[in-house]
Amino acid sequence: MKLNIALLAGDGIGPEVIDQAVKVCDAVATKFGHDINWTPALTGAAAIDACGEPYPDETHEICLNADAVLFGAIGHPKYDNDPSAKVRPEQGLLKMRKKLGLFANVRPTFTFPSLIDNSPLKRERIEGTDLVFLRELTGGIYFGEKGRRDGGETAFDNCVYTRAEVQRLAKKGFELAMTRTKKLCCVDKANVLETSRLWRETVQAMEKDYPEVEVSYEFVDAVAMRLVQWPNSYDVLITENLFGDILTDEASVISGSMGLMPSASVGSENQLFEPIHGSYPQATGLDIANPLATILSAAMMFEMAFGLKEEAEAIKAVVNKSLDEGVVTEDLSGKNKSYKTSEVGDWLVANL
Amino acid sequence: MKLNIALLAGDGIGPEVIDQAVKVCDAVATKFGHDINWTPALTGAAAIDACGEPYPDETHEICLNADAVLFGAIGHPKYDNDPSAKVRPEQGLLKMRKKLGLFANVRPTFTFPSLIDNSPLKRERIEGTDLVFLRELTGGIYFGEKGRRDGGETAFDNCVYTRAEVQRLAKKGFELAMTRTKKLCCVDKANVLETSRLWRETVQAMEKDYPEVEVSYEFVDAVAMRLVQWPNSYDVLITENLFGDILTDEASVISGSMGLMPSASVGSENQLFEPIHGSYPQATGLDIANPLATILSAAMMFEMAFGLKEEAEAIKAVVNKSLDEGVVTEDLSGKNKSYKTSEVGDWLVANL
Ligand SMILES: CC(C)[C@H](C(=O)O)[C@@H](O)C(=O)O
Ligand SMILES: CC(C)[C@H](C(=O)O)[C@@H](O)C(=O)O
């Protein structure tokens, strides 16, 4: 099979972890007889430096022409404490999501038996956790009208949702639930927000089309609590953009394997795969960043974008093997020997 | 001293836990030579049932005329899955906050040595946690214009903040930080929201007035993570209404003592004290609800509303004693004997 993949390394540790993912993907392709055509493109602070624009048109063209996008991370500290900066790397991310129509962010949180003791939670709280968030990614307060009035003294952000936007996300949620334990939780703040009431009534109306799925409705504040108390009581959760931003990050640290969590952002035409961790600027260039989340994102890509399940399983298996044998970067090595980012990549290739 | 207190028991377990707080307050008053004048008033579902309105004008008058308000909890399941309900108990809560001008919600999270093992977090993660959230309570998306367009197919909620609103909340945050370890964290989403950029620039401009306070700025998603990882790395956190709703609830379960966490909501004229737990409808009338959060809220009331620090300390001391001696409700008793709500109240009065 010929696989056309756009490669957006981004900022910080992005390029280093992407390099390992490329090595592993190429090795898998060779093993299974595929042919990957990688097309690199600029994004984030790297793109601003090069052409003043965090998501250049050229990059967009490359993504549109690819079958899938593999993405590293973006963000640079020089923009962080300057709320007035005109161009920011994150704008590139938002523009990319919007222009590629990536309306659903798929964020699993699961545990690795060998890493369970890394969790800040007690073992009995976290064992067996295997949940997936579907976060709406191209609507809500992120993309509503925003600005200032009264000479800058008043600021506003509008949160807007249409029924159709809720339906297409919820549909993915119901479908995903059908492939798992058939439990779906709709997270909202329907006791306060009109957009949440639209979410809830839309999902309620869809229940009849999926009679086997057991749907629960929970307020976002309650979910923020239960995620810490009983994360293993959830299966599939659907939610709007901002709630999803907060809750998926909260969920990610619960597993104790934040550096390992992959994600996919999908639309009706395009698909993008990225680790959930950020650009980790302090570690840039040190060859110490954990590449496994990016490599597991590549596994998701094989499965979701190309339907190549066996290839995905091969990647997951060798990642598990590296964890079992302690071939891990310093964030996971504890008191044992740690490996460099590139050494982990090489080991995975050799052991595939 | 003569203390005029409005007593809003509310719904569910509200009346039961409020009864215990009244007993304890009366006992403290007798001991220290004060005279409490309690004026009960209706709110929540109870008020809707009585007069169709969750925060009746009469209740508002009573609150205005009181020196402080002691509040139980509101909310009733019959309103929960009906997004279209015209009148909801929560509207009473929001109207009350707005009409009383309670713009700052003070929510401490701390640990009790004897309860530390109740936390879902490992001991070393939670030990020493002692943080306070100041949540803005009368602005933001809770109170902005909201509604439907396109025949109901599009819903919107507006988030609006003025610089003056941010300043008055931040001022309380700086002042509180000065009485503690002088660390202040401003929680926002300045990489996406214009209102957050206003928050950040306003707080930045105030830093010069409090040169001793070390201010950090963190994105809400990062805080949602760090609260689970290293809750004891925070001291005072300030944030807008919706972020505060989510994060304070997340923080509350971290301590393992959710049933013990008090809160205060203060404005320039009025002050209200309430447990952070909800109305817990399943437990209504069973005399099993934990009254300690309400009793500790009463302690906050003595200190903050009346400046009666010794009285507040007396309440806290006897609560600690009940925990140490295991005179607790079933949520905390583990395998040991548990006490009824009213028995805990009686024991506290007898041991004051
Ligand atoms: C960088 C930021 C704009 C982004 C978001 O809020 O969506 C990030 O936090 C994420 O979750 O991908
Ligand atoms: C009941 C609800 C409206 C309320 C809020 O969101 O403010 C509650 O969750 C709280 O935190 O006091």
pLDDT (0 to 100) of residue B257: 77
pLDDT, one tens digit per residue, over B52-62 is 999 999 999 99
- Asked if residue A149 belongs to a known ligand binding site, the reply is no
| Residue A199 and residue A164 in contact, taking contact as beta carbons nearer than 8 Å | no
Chain B residues whose CB is inside 8 A of the A95 CB are none
The residues lining ligand 2, judged by C-beta closer than 6 Å to any ligand atom, are: A 191-192, 221; B 90, 93, 245
Nearest CA in chain B to A155: B195
- Looking up tokens 């007593």 gives B7
pTM: 0.95
Catalytic residue among B35, B80, B157, B221: B221
Task: Out of B120, B193, B253, name the one closest to residue A157 (CB).
Answer: B193
> Taking 80 as the threshold, does the pLDDT of residue B323 lie above it?
yes
| Closest chain A CA to residue B278 | A222
Alpha carbon A252 to its chain's center: 10
Q: Please indicate whether the domains covering A1-102+267-352 and A104-261 agree at the CATH topology level.
A: yes
User: How many cross-chain Cβ pairs, A to B, lie less than 8 Å apart?
Assistant: 172
The widest CA-to-CA distance across chain A, in whole angstroms, is: 63
B111-259 CATH choice from 3.40.50.300, 3.40.640.10, 3.40.605.10, 3.40.718.10: 3.40.718.10
Whether A31 contacts A87, CB under 8 Å: no
User: A92: closest CA among A151, A156, A48, A29?
Assistant: A48
| Cα distance between residue B160 and residue A154, in whole Å | 7
Q: What percent of chain B has pLDDT over 70?
A: 98
pLDDT in tens, B65-116: 999 999 999 988 887 666 566 788 888 999 999 999 999 999 999 998 888 9
Q: Which residues pair with residue A223 across a beta bridge?
A: none
CA distance B311 to B301: 10
Angle CA(B154)–CA(B159)–CA(B160) in degrees, nearest 5?
135
CB contact under 8 A, A120 and B228: yes
Q: Specify the 3-state DSSP secondary structure of B219.
A: strand
3-class DSSP assignment, residue B251: helix
Q: In whole angstroms, how far apart are CA B111 and each of A293, B127, B253?
A: 34, 7, 11
Q: What is the pLDDT of residues B17-42, one digit of tens each?
A: 999 999 999 999 999 999 999 999 99
Residue B221, both tokens: 């998603």
Whether B155 and A90 lie within 8 Å, measured CB to CB: no
Fold of A1-102+267-352: Isopropylmalate Dehydrogenase (3.40.718)
Question: What residues in A contact B156, CB-CB < 8 Å?
Answer: 144, 158-161, 194-195
Helices (H), B141-240: 163-178, 194-206, 220-229
The tally of CA atoms less than 13 A away on the side-chain side of residue A32 is 21
Residue in this structure with the two tokens 């993912």, named with its chain if needed: A21
Q: Which residues pair with A69 in a beta bridge?
A: A6, A272
All structural domains of chain A with their residue ranges = 1-102+267-352, 104-261
**Any catalytic annotation for residue B142?**
yes
- B46 in Cβ contact with B108 (< 8 Å): no
Digit-by-digit pLDDT tens for chain A (352 residues) are 999 999 999 999 999 999 999 999 999 999 999 999 999 999 999 899 999 999 999 999 999 999 999 999 998 888 766 656 678 888 899 999 999 999 999 999 999 888 898 999 999 999 999 999 999 999 999 999 999 999 999 999 999 999 999 999 999 999 999 999 999 999 999 989 999 999 999 999 999 999 999 999 999 999 999 999 999 999 999 999 999 999 999 999 988 877 899 999 999 999 999 999 989 999 999 999 999 999 999 999 999 999 999 999 999 999 999 999 999 999 999 899 999 999 999 999 999 9
CB contact under 8 A, B144 and A163: no
Tokens of A37: 């055509």
Instruction: Say what the pLDDT of residue A222 is.
Output: 95
A142 catalytic, yes or no?
A: yes
pLDDT at residue B83 in the model: 56
Structure tokens at B273: 């004290």
B123-149 mean pLDDT: 97
Dig out the tokens for A104 from the structure. Answer: 């659903």
CA distances to A184, A300, A316, B64 from A312, rounded to whole Å, are 25, 7, 6, 64
A150 annotated as belonging to a binding site for a ligand:
no
According to DSSP, the β-strands at A104-110 and B154-162 are unpaired
Mark yes or no for CB contact A193/B157 under 8 Å.
yes
Give the annotated binding-site residues of B for substrate.
97, 107, 135, 221
Give B245 Cα–ligand 2 centroid separation in angstroms: 6
Nearest ligand 1 atom to alpha carbon B221: 9
Question: Which chain B residues have a beta carbon less than 8 Å from that of A146?
Answer: 193-195
How buried is B204 (Cβ within 10 angstroms: 0-12 exposed, 13-18 middle, 19+ buried)?
middle
- Going B91 to B95 to B98 to B102, the CA torsion angle's sign is negative
Residue A145 φ/ψ, nearest 5 degrees? -60, 140
CA of residue B191 to ligand 1 center, whole Å = 8
Residue B114 is predicted with a pLDDT of 84
Q: Annotated catalytic, A189?
A: yes
Residues of B in contact with A228 (CB under 8 A): 120-121, 228, 250, 253-254
Q: How far is the CA of B158 from the centre of ligand 2 (A)?
A: 18
Asked if B201 and B168 count as a contact pair (C-beta separation under 8 A), the reply is: no
The first and second tokens of residue A84, run together, are 């007035």
pLDDT of A81 reads 60
> What is the average per-residue pLDDT within B317-331?
95
Q: What is the atom index within ligand 2 of the atom nearest the CA of B137?
A: 7
The answer to whether A141 contacts B164, with C-beta atoms less than 8 Å apart, is no
Q: Is A125 annotated as a binding residue?
A: no
- The answer to whether the Cα torsion of A75, A77, A78, A82 is positive or negative is positive
Q: Is the dihedral of CA A170, A240, A276, A33 positive or negative?
A: positive
Q: Which residues line ligand 1 (CB under 6 A)?
A: A 90, 93, 245; B 191-192, 221
Q: Is the CB of A243 less than 8 angstroms away from the CB of B245?
A: no
CATH architecture assignment, domain A104-261: 3-Layer(aba) Sandwich (3.40)
Task: Report the gap between the CA of A276 and the closest CA in chain B (Å).
Answer: 12
Q: Are B280 and B253 in contact (CB under 8 A)?
A: no
Q: Quick one: DSSP state of residue A82?
A: -
pLDDT of A104 reads 98
Find the residue in B nearest to A148 (Cα): B194
Ligand that lies nearest to the alpha carbon of residue A107, given by its number in the listed order: 1
Q: Is A249 in the active site?
A: yes
Cα dihedral sign, A89-A95-A97-A99:
negative
Bridge partners of residue A187, in order along the sequence: A218, A239
Which stretch of DSSP H or E encloses residue A300?
helix A292-306
Ligand 2, atom 8: closest residue by C-alpha: B245
- In angstroms, rounded to a whole number, what is the distance separating the alpha carbons of residues A75 and A44? 6
pLDDT band at B261 (very low <50, low <70, confident <90, very high): very high
Q: Which of B103, B89, B85 has the alpha carbon at shortest distance from B281?
A: B89
Q: How far apart are CA A283 and CA A270, in angstroms?
A: 31
Provide the pLDDT for residue B89: 86
Q: Which residues of B205-225 are buried (b: 16+ CB within 10 A; e: fewer)?
A: ebeeebeebebebbbbbebbb
Give the rounded percent of residues in chain B with a pLDDT score beyond 90.
Answer: 90
Query: Taking the alpha carbons of B349, B350, B351, B352 in that order, is the dihedral positive or negative?
Result: positive
Instruction: Answer yes or no: do B228 and A250 touch at CB < 8 A.
Output: yes
